Every structure is written in structure tokens, then in C-alpha cells.
């Protein structure tokens, strides 16, 4: 065959690969309002930037060569906001997106490329797991193990995953490996599908019951965001990547605020009004966090998973920061075991990608209950502390209204190696609230006490309460050097920006030691 004929054959083979599973299957995908694999990639990356790798791949099973274009995986490197990103998209039009040996090998090669060159990884998932009969038999299974490349990623590059349809097996593993996961409503993520589950165990469940968005957003915490549609999902992944560096050896990119410094500071003048003086009155800490952030913009992770604590990415004067803030609107801001896991995971990610951490306290302590203890609450609290202690990025802590008990330590209070610890003037800091402490120190008196004795008891409790309330104020801690400063609420943003610049230092340019890089991506 001459070069001209080979050129024609190349064009034909690429045209066939571009048709994926064929016109009928692509039409069915479109009819259900979904994008196909190539459309998903194009929607994610900058226009015209995708460089495909392995387009001419196909299955190595005899007779399947013409039925498996790209072996069901569209892989390559594109750009997101001008930066290279490795992308892998499951092609559900090819044998339901199932993974064969060649497609799996291509995926591993892309991961190796990403780790070697320092490119983030994005997995666009919709697949029915491993392909039969490819994986059957001792040779089949041995040739298609999950491998160790992602397990040894060590957070050297950011990894994001999208759950876009039925995701069983491989796309679920990729999501569990990832730093950030977005699930589209109506999709499902699970180890195996309902049909396999029924055959294996007799249990009958729907996709939604097994691994729908509510399961993972509210119960398991395996997804970080939920999207109404694919466009929203892919836009959220782009937003996440914009906050992060391309790899762990870089600082996150700076993005200048749209508002002026004067506009941002004018917004701070009423910040104290967002927090009621009474510690018994709830407020939504999100509003305070938005007030502090550039352009009032944040990207919250796991917003529906233990809502007593907020974990979000934001920017201060253009610099990416990670914020952990207890939220009194839910459980009074008392974190439970899931909240501890949420914070631990977030600290690991931020520390691995050189993102400074800011802690905002308004909490009565940790949530105590029999259910919490049965979920290993002491271990969860200490996991959180260990992550905090090993984080080497700048850490700033601000007591907004109250911080009691062990939660004060977990939120980088005094003695926890934060670079700076601040408090608002109205802050209360103590082992427990004055109201509770009074009743512990002076339990209820005798029921048969006289009116005079009862009046005396009430007066003594009132005196003790005022004494404990005064001791909880920030002045003693500030006077003895446990707090670096007591700051006016309206100066909080300005103080944090200045403190971050100092905390970054000159020795390493803000690049941390990454002692948490090998910690699990799920707890």
C-alpha cells in the first residue's frame, strides 16, 4: 500500500473513531439530554485545545476491533484557563463504557504522563465497570487490576472526577481517589449496579437508593458538589481547578479581585452585625465567610455533609485560601464524627497544594451523643488534630464568638502551632460555656430549701456566672500571650491579608513540606 492509500486509510480510521459507538447510540445519548464523551471533553477544556492520545486504540479481543473505537476511553491533554490538564472520558456509546485491557492501559499511561509532567487529572465518568469477558479468568483479572499509580499519586497533582451517569467499578474508584468530585443529579456511583446486587445478594434497590446524589452528598460525603446538569458539573470542575496549582511544587495562581480594595473594605464595616451578641442565637457563618472573601465568592466543599462546619476555598487579595468555619445554624456549630472527617480531608488537600488555612470559631465544642461515640468520635477528633499538626502551610485562627473545649484545639487555637491566633472582642474562650460550668460547679440545691436559701443560691450562681463569663473573655489570654491580638471585627479581612503575607515567609516561598500527601483521600 502506498503513502497516499495509507493516508486515506488514516482519515477513514480516525473518522470511524470519531463516530464512537455509532449514530444510533449517539442519538440515544442526545435524546436523554446528555453529552457524549467527546462533547464532554470539549465542554471542559479551552476551545480547540484538546490533544487526543490513543484515538486509534481498540480492543485486543479477536473480532472486537471494529466495535470498540478508542476502546471506549477518550483520553488526552487539554487546557483549562490556559493550563494543561489530563482528561479521560468514558464513552458510554461503546459497550456501555466498560473498561477493556487497552483502554485501561491507556488510562494508566495518561496518569503516568500527568504525574511526570505536573498536570492535573480529570476523570469524566459514566461506565458499567470492567468489560466482560475481558476481565474474566485468572489472566483477565490479572491483566486488569486497578494498579498502584493512582494509589501512589501522593497528591503530586490535583485530581477531579465527574459522576455523569451510571458509574460502577472503575469510575467509582477514580472518584474515590480524587480530591474533588461532582455528581450530576440522576446519576449513580456505586461498587456494582442494582442488577449485580440483586443476583449476588437478593437485595433490590434503585440506582438512586444505591448511589444517588443524596446518598453521597448527605450520608457518605464521597462527593464534594452536586450539579443539576452536565454543564454545571463541568463548570464547577473548572472553578475548582482555578483555585489550585497545576502540581504540588507550585503556589495556587493569583486572581486579582474584580472589586477594589476600598469596595471590599467598605463591606467589612457591618460585619459585626452578622453575628448576634447572644451565644444562643444562631447565624449562618457562610454570610460572614462571603463578606471576608474577594468578590464575596467561595467554593464550598461537601456543603450538605455535616453542615455544622463549612469547608471552602476562597481568595483573599487574590490568593487562594482554605477556610474551615463552624456554622451555628446547624447543631449550634458542634461538629460530629462526619464533620471531623470533612475537616481532616480538607486539611490534607489544602496542605498538599500549598493553600493556607484559616479557621473561624463559633462553636460550643464537639457534638456528644451515643451515636457519635459509636462512630469512633475520639479517633475522629484525634485524626483531625494529627492532620492539623502535620500541616505546614500558613495557618491563621480567629475566634469569632465562642470556642469551647477540645474544639478550640482542633480549630488551631493557642498552642496548636498556628502562625497567628486572633479573637474578636466579644469572643468567649473556655473549657465549657459559663452557663454549663455554673451548673457543674454548683448543682441544683435541695428541693426542700427555704425561700431564703433558694434566693441565696440564685445569687451565688449569678455571681459565679459573671465571674466565669469575665474569665472567658479574650483579655486574659491576650494579656498572657496566648492570643496574638484582639481585633475589631471590621479589621478581620485586612488583618488576615497582612498575616498571610507574613506567615508565608521567605524560606520556601509558600511551598509546604507536604507531610499529609500520603494520607487517604477518604476517611
User: What CATH number is attached to the domain comprising 361?
Assistant: 3.90.226.10
Range name among 17-21, 45-49, 224-228 with the lowest pLDDT average: 17-21
Q: Torsions phi, psi of 495, nearest 5?
A: -65, -45
Predicted pLDDT of residue 155: 97
pLDDT in tens, 128-140: 888 888 888 888 8
Instruction: Record the cell numbers describing residue 304, joined without a space.
Output: 450538605
Q: Are residues 177 and 36 in the same domain?
A: yes
Instruction: Record the cell numbers describing residue 23, joined without a space.
Output: 449514530
Tell me the whole-structure pTM to 2 decimals: 0.94
- Above 90 in pLDDT, residue 509? no
With both helix axes pointing from N to C terminus, report the angle between 492-504 and 285-292 in degrees, rounded to the nearest 10: 60
Q: 273, 345, 102, 301: which is closest to 182 by C-alpha?
A: 301
3-state percent breakdown (helix, strand, coil) of the chain, nearest 5:
45, 20, 40
Tell me, yes or no, whether 523 lies in a domain. no
Q: Are residues 111 and 197 in the same domain?
A: yes
Tell me, yes or no, whether 519 lies in a domain. no
* Contact indicator for 354, 511 with CB cutoff of 8 Å: yes
Tell me, yes or no, whether 254 lies in a domain. no
Work out the average pLDDT over 474-491: 98
How many other CB atoms are there within 10 angstroms of residue 118's CB atom? 15
Q: Are residues 70 and 22 in the same domain?
A: yes
Q: How confident is residue 506, by pLDDT bands cut at 50, 70 and 90? A: confident
Among the candidates 243, 278, 300, a domain finishes at 243
Query: What's the CA gap between 244 and 315, in Å, rounded?
Result: 11
Say which residue the cell 490513543 belongs to.
54
Percentage of the chain surpassing pLDDT 90?
Answer: 83
**Beta partners for residue 122, in sequence order:** 87, 160
Work out the average pLDDT over 211-220: 98
Tell me, yes or no, whether 250 lies in a domain. no
Domains contained in the chain, number: 3
Predicted pLDDT of residue 140: 82
Instruction: Record the cell numbers describing residue 66, joined without a space.
Output: 471494529
Q: How confident is residue 446, by pLDDT bands cut at 50, 70 and 90? A: low
Cα 514 to chain centroid, rounded? 17
Tell me, yes or no, whether 135 lies in a domain. yes
Q: What is the CA radius of gyration of the chain?
A: 27
Q: Are residues 207 and 99 in the same domain?
A: yes
Tell me, yes or no, whether 28 lies in a domain. yes
Percentage of the chain surpassing pLDDT 70?
Answer: 98
- Above 80 in pLDDT, residue 464? no
Q: Which domain holds residue 35?
A: 3-243
- Above 70 in pLDDT, residue 1? no
Q: How confident is residue 445, by pLDDT bands cut at 50, 70 and 90? A: low
Q: Are residues 172 and 213 in the same domain?
A: yes
Q: Are residues 63 and 160 in the same domain?
A: yes
Q: How confident is residue 145, by pLDDT bands cut at 50, 70 and 90? A: confident
Work out the average pLDDT over 480-495: 98
b (16+ CB within 10 A) / e for 437-473? bbeeeeeeeeeeeeeeeeeeeeeebeebbeebbeebb
pLDDT in tens, 344-387: 999 999 999 999 999 999 999 999 999 999 999 999 999 999 99
* Contact indicator for 123, 171 with CB cutoff of 8 Å: yes
pLDDT in tens, 48-98: 999 999 999 999 999 999 999 999 999 999 999 999 999 999 999 999 989
* Contact indicator for 92, 18 with CB cutoff of 8 Å: no
Q: Are residues 436 and 484 in the same domain?
A: no
pLDDT in tens, 389-412: 999 999 999 999 999 999 999 999
Query: What's the CA gap between 303 and 95, in Å, rounded?
Result: 35
Q: Are residues 133 and 225 in the same domain?
A: yes
Q: Are residues 352 and 495 in the same domain?
A: yes
Q: How confident is residue 4, by pLDDT bands cut at 50, 70 and 90? A: low
More confident residue, 269 or 134: 269
Tell me, yes or no, whether 249 lies in a domain. no
Work out the average pLDDT over 443-470: 74
More confident residue, 456 or 380: 380
Burial label, 60 (beta-carbon count in 10 A; 0-12, 13-18, 19+): middle
Tell me, yes or no, whether 252 lies in a domain. no
The H or E element spanning position 338 is: helix 337-352
Q: Are residues 203 and 180 in the same domain?
A: yes
Predicted pLDDT of residue 448: 67
Q: Are residues 468 and 485 in the same domain?
A: no
Q: Are residues 378 and 439 in the same domain?
A: no
- Above 80 in pLDDT, residue 485? yes
* Contact indicator for 313, 118 with CB cutoff of 8 Å: no
Say which residue the cell 451523643 belongs to.
369
DSSP string, 473-489: SHHHHHHTTSSSEE--G
With both helix axes pointing from N to C terminus, report the angle between 230-243 and 37-44 in degrees, rounded to the nearest 10: 40
Work out the average pLDDT over 277-282: 87
Amino acid at each position: 500500500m502506498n503513502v497516499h492509500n495509507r493516508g486515506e486509510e488514516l482519515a477513514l480510521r480516525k473518522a470511524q473513531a470519531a463516530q464512537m459507538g455509532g449514530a444510533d447510540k449517539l442519538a440515544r445519548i442526545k435524546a436523554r439530554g446528555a453529552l457524549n464523551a467527546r462533547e464532554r471533553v470539549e465542554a471542559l477544556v479551552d476551545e480547540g485545545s484538546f490533544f487526543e492520545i490513543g484515538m486509534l486504540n481498540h480492543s485486543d479481543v479477536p473480532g472486537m476491533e471494529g466495535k470498540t473505537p478508542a476502546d471506549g476511553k477518550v483520553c488526552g491533554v487539554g487546557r483549562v484557563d490556559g493550563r494543561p490538564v489530563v482528561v479521560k472520558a468514558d464513552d458510554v456509546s461503546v459497550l456501555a463504557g466498560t473498561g477493556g485491557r487497552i483502554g485501561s492501559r491507556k488510562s494508566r499511561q495518561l496518569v503516568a504522563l500527568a504525574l511526570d509532567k505536573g498536570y492535573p487529572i480529570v476523570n469524566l465518568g459514566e461506565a458499567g465497570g470492567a468489560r466482560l469477558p475481558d476481565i474474566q479468568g485468572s489472566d483477565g483479572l490479572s491483566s486488569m487490576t486497578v494498579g498502584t499509580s493512582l494509589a501512589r499519586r501522593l497528591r503530586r497533582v490535583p485530581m477531579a472526577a465527574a459522576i455523569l451517569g451510571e458509574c460502577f467499578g472503575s469510575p467509582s474508584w477514580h472518584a474515590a481517589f480524587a480530591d474533588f468530585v461532582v455528581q450530576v443529579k440522576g446519576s449513580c456511583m456505586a461498587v456494582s449496579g442494582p442488577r449485580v446486587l440483586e443476583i449476588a445478594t437478593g437485595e433490590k434497590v434503585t440506582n438512586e437508593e444505591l448511589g444517588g446524589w443524596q446518598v453521597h452528598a448527605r450520608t457518605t460525603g464521597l462527593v464534594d458538589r452536586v450539579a443539576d446538569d452536565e454543564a454545571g458539573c463541568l463548570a464547577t470542575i473548572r472553578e475548582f481547578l482555578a483555585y489550585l496549582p497545576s502540581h504540588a511544587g507550585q503556589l495556587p495562581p493569583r486572581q486579582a479581585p474584580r472589586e477594589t480594595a476600598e469596595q471590599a473594605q467598605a463591606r467589612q464595616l457591618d460585619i459585626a452585625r452578622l453575628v448576634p451578641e447572644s451565644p444562643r442565637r444562631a447565624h449562618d457563618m457562610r454570610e460572614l465567610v462571603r463578606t471576608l472573601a474577594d468578590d464575596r465568592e467561595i467554593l464550598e466543599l461537601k456543603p450538605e455533609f455535616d453542615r455544622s462546619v463549612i469547608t471552602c476555598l476562597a481568595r483573599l487579595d487574590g490568593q487562594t485560601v482554605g477556610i474551615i468555619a463552624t456554622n451555628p445554624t446547624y447543631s449550634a456549630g458542634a461538629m460530629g464524627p462526619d464533620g471531623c472527617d470533612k475537616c481532616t480531608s480538607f486539611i490534607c488537600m489544602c496542605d498538599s497544594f500549598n493553600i493556607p488555612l484559616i479557621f473561624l470559631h463559633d462553636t460550643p465544642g464537639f457534638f456528644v451523643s451515643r451515636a457519635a461515640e459509636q462512630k469512633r468520635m475520639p479517633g475522629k477528633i484525634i485524626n483531625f488534630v494529627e492532620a492539623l499538626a502535620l500541616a505546614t502551610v500558613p495557618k491563621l485562627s480567629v475566634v469569632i464568638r465562642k470556642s469551647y473545649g477540645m474544639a478550640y484545639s482542633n480549630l488551631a487555637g493557642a498552642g496548636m502551632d498556628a502562625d497567628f491566633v486572633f479573637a474578636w472582642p466579644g469572643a468567649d474562650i473556655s473549657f465549657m460555656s459559663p452557663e454549663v460550668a455554673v451548673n457543674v460547679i454548683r448543682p441544683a440545691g435541695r428541693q426542700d430549701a427555704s425561700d431564703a436559701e433558694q434566693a441565696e443560691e440564685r445569687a451565688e450562681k449569678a455571681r459565679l456566672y459573671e465571674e466565669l463569663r469575665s474569665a472567658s473573655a479574650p483579655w486574659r489570654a491576650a494579656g498572657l500571650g496566648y492570643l496574638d491580638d484582639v481585633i475589631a471585627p471590621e479589621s478581620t479581612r485586612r488583618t488576615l491579608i497582612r498575616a498571610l503575607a507574613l506567615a508565608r515567609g521567605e524560606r520556601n516561598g509558600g511551598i509546604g513540606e507536604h507531610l499529609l500527601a500520603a494520607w487517604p483521600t477518604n476517611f
